[in-house]
Amino acid sequence: MKSILSIARSIEGRLDEAECRLLLATAASAAAASGPLPIVEVGSYCGRSTVILAGAARAVCPTLRIFAIDPHQGSLSHPKGELIVPPTLERFLHNIEWAGVADRVDLIQKKSFEVKWDLPVALLFIDGLHDYENVRRDFLHFQSFVVPGGLVAFDDNDGETYPGVVRCVGEAISSGGYEQIASAGRLVVLRKGTEDATAPIPEAEWREIAIRRQRAIELLRDELLSEIADSADALPEPAFEILKVEASGKAAGTISGSIDIPAEHTTISSRDFTVAGWVLGHPGVVAHVEIRSEGELVSRVPVCESRPDVALAFPAKPNAAQCGFRFAIDLSRMSVACLEVWAIPVTGHPRLLGTIRARRRTEPPA
Ligand SMILES: C[S@@+](CC[C@H](N)C(=O)[O-])C[C@H]1O[C@@H](n2cnc3c(N)ncnc32)[C@H](O)[C@@H]1O
């Protein structure tokens, strides 16, 4: 089955790769936290973002619906003014049908402010016209329906081309009602404040959330793995087989984290072998993650990748939104690899997060 991101990539639109990935993680996080509460999209164009939102919803919460609001009259923002393109309704309908998500999208062919809205919202994605008046009007029209802890994502948060978006985002944050939890390219994600992020959640509800969160984690992992597999297909490199990925568990002490990529029993066909995950210190900050092999340093990266899913899981942790790490390791000269993943805190001793054992496959991949 094609990944959501590869389907979205083939639909006309302006969200780039990193923005698509963040939007997918954001929708998965919102769906995990808020379950069947709807996602509202202002500005669908040909459906690139709609497919990402609906794909995440389908994977994480089967009853969640996407309300895709767009007049489809072909009026777009452009740094130099308005850009008129052919109407987009037909292309939008064709694309969501082709992507297999039409059954969970409710099209509202109106301008945002013409919509009479009265439902709670898990995620509000604003990508209509990008001048200050329009962005602010879109935001104000829906923001009071966003549930505490719910998310608001703005596209084109770029001061040079669209200062109105930056101003509106800044005002939302300085109002004290929202905090920024992630950004990639021109996409920025805010979270609405909760009255008490540490308030206990009833057990039955918590179990539901845990199931949806697990689905969200699996979705993100599958998407990352299929992207890696896609890029590997193009390279005639020998494959590696991932034999074991072992977390060091309790030995990690005051540092918690996870190695999300690679997954056990998968094969990697590229020279660049991706290792990705997240790490959090209690209470200190983990600045870097290192990969070592037989005591030698192989690579070191900063802990700074956006992880809205972890931020959602640990709302009280200030660094959770940017606690991800990602390596591209060159295994071309190794036949067997035993890689140790170490968390390097700002103060205190390095801690082993886990180990990865990989072996070069002798036969060509099937
Ligand atoms: C930048 S495009 C959206 C891109 C889309 N999110 C994607 O991923 O490809 C902006 C869209 O906003 C729509 N639009 C313009 N004014 C609007 C309004 N007041 N309410 C809702 N949508 C609007 C336009 O018709 C256009 O399709």
Q: How far apart are CA 180 and CA 170, in angstroms?
A: 10
Task: With a cut of 90, say whether residue 54 has pLDDT above it.
Answer: yes
Expressed in angstroms, the distance from the first to the final Cα of the chain is 17
Q: Is 15 in the pocket of ligand 1 (CB under 6 A)?
A: yes
Distance of CA 332 to the CA centre of its chain: 30
**What's residue 251's pLDDT?**
45
Per-residue pLDDT reduced to its tens digit, 311-348: 777 777 778 888 889 888 877 666 667 899 999 988 88
Q: What is the pLDDT of the chain when averaged over all its residues?
A: 86
pTM, 2 dp: 0.73
Q: Give the Å distance between the CA of 73 and the centre of ligand 1.
A: 9
Per-residue pLDDT reduced to its tens digit, 190-210: 999 876 656 666 777 788 888
Per-residue pLDDT reduced to its tens digit, 257-283: 889 888 887 777 656 678 899 998 876
User: For the chain, which domains are there?
Assistant: 4-203 (3.40.50.150), 236-360 (2.60.40)
Closest atom of ligand 1 relative to the 72 alpha carbon = 25
- Ligand 1 pocket test: which of 129, 158, 162 has the largest number of ligand atoms within 8 Å of its C-beta? 129
Q: Is 53 in the pocket of ligand 1 (CB under 6 A)?
A: no
- Ligand 1 pocket test: which of 4, 20, 42 has the largest number of ligand atoms within 8 Å of its C-beta? 42
Tell me what percent of the residues of the chain surpass a pLDDT of 70: 88
Ligand 1, atom 27, lies closest to the CA of 45
**What's residue 199's pLDDT?**
65
SS3 293: strand
Q: Give the Å distance between the CA of 212 and the centre of ligand 1.
A: 29
**What's residue 229's pLDDT?**
63
- Ligand 1 pocket test: which of 11, 45, 165, 187 has the largest number of ligand atoms within 8 Å of its C-beta? 45
Q: How far apart are CA 308 and CA 321, in angstroms?
A: 5
- Per-residue 3-state assignment (H helix, E strand, C coil) for 242-289: EEEEEECHHHHCCEEEEEEECCCCCEECCCEEEEEEEEEECCCCEEEE
Q: How far apart are CA 243 and CA 268, in angstroms?
A: 11
- Identify whether the C-beta of residue 18 lies closer than 8 Å to the C-beta of residue 185: yes
Ligand 1, atom 6, lies closest to the CA of 44
**What's residue 8's pLDDT?**
94
Per-residue pLDDT reduced to its tens digit, 70-96: 999 988 888 777 788 899 999 999 999
Q: Is 129 in the pocket of ligand 1 (CB under 6 A)?
A: yes
Close Cβ partners of 179 (under 8 Å, ≥ 6 residues apart): 173, 190, 191, 193
SS3 331: coil
Q: Is 161 in the pocket of ligand 1 (CB under 6 A)?
A: no
Q: Is 153 in the pocket of ligand 1 (CB under 6 A)?
A: no
Q: Is 34 in the pocket of ligand 1 (CB under 6 A)?
A: no
Structure tokens at 202: 């009833």
**What's residue 270's pLDDT?**
57
Q: Is 43 in the pocket of ligand 1 (CB under 6 A)?
A: yes
Q: What average pLDDT score do residues 155-174 get?
A: 94
Ligand 1, atom 8, lies closest to the CA of 49
Per-residue pLDDT reduced to its tens digit, 207-237: 888 889 888 888 887 887 776 666 555 544 5
- Identify whether the C-beta of residue 173 lies closer than 8 Å to the C-beta of residue 190: yes
Q: Is 71 in the pocket of ligand 1 (CB under 6 A)?
A: yes
